[in-house]
Amino acid sequence: MQIAILIFEKLTALDAIGPYEVLRSVPGWEVKFVGPEKGHVRTDCGALGLSADYSLDEVSAVDMVLVPGGKGNRPLLEDETVLSWLREIDAQSKWTTSVCTGALVLGAAGLLEGKRATTYWPFLEQLREYGAEPVGSRFVEDGKTITAAGVSAGIDMAFHLVGQEAGPEVAQAVQLGIEYDPQPPFDSGSPDKAAGPIVELIESVAGASSEEWLGANERA
């Protein structure tokens, strides 16, 4: 499997690195970090750097493409170079995937039209703007398109993909190899489980982020 993970300035690190750790653990699978340009990018908090070893024009065909989220993907919604690349990759890919708000980039490329999809829960309804049917689920598979919910959901999606392509035994071996056995000390990982004030806090933060996103696009 040839896999491309799109990276860009101000992406959310775990959106890319979580699936990477799962996918790169399968023998014979190659994962490439691809950016609008070659070179280093900084994640959304600025403290971590990742390296795009390939530019878009150096990767024209892969079996799987993954688009992460993060506030840095706001400009990508109107970046025709990136959107055209995604459409070209999708035309021959076996799997087209996203994590968190990466789904909105797939939507902007026209790749979610008429499909069921998910994303980070505060942004779920925005999927309708791209002709998608929002589904509140850990990850959603519709044909060859798989969208994962917020951040950590990308890990679960990656295990699903390994199970689909390499078999459940391989997926289970990778799971044990990285000791993925979540036992969180709190049960507030979804809006259905979290206390009302916690949900309201995250909604307020996400709402400010959404306004910033829309404002940036209007200025562009």
Per the DSSP assignment, residues forming a β-bridge with 65 are 4, 96
Q: How far apart are CA 44 and CA 65, in angstroms?
A: 21
Query: What Rg, from alpha-carbon coordinates, does the chain have?
Result: 17
Residues 6+ apart with CB under 8 A from 146: 95, 96, 97, 98, 139, 140, 157, 160, 161
Q: Which of 86, 100, 109, 112 is catalytic?
A: 100
Catalytic status, residue 45:
no
DSSP 8-class letter at 40: E
178 touches 22 (CB < 8 A): yes
129 touches 112 (CB < 8 A): no
DSSP 8-class letter at 142: E
Q: Looking at the annotation, which residues are catalytic?
A: 100
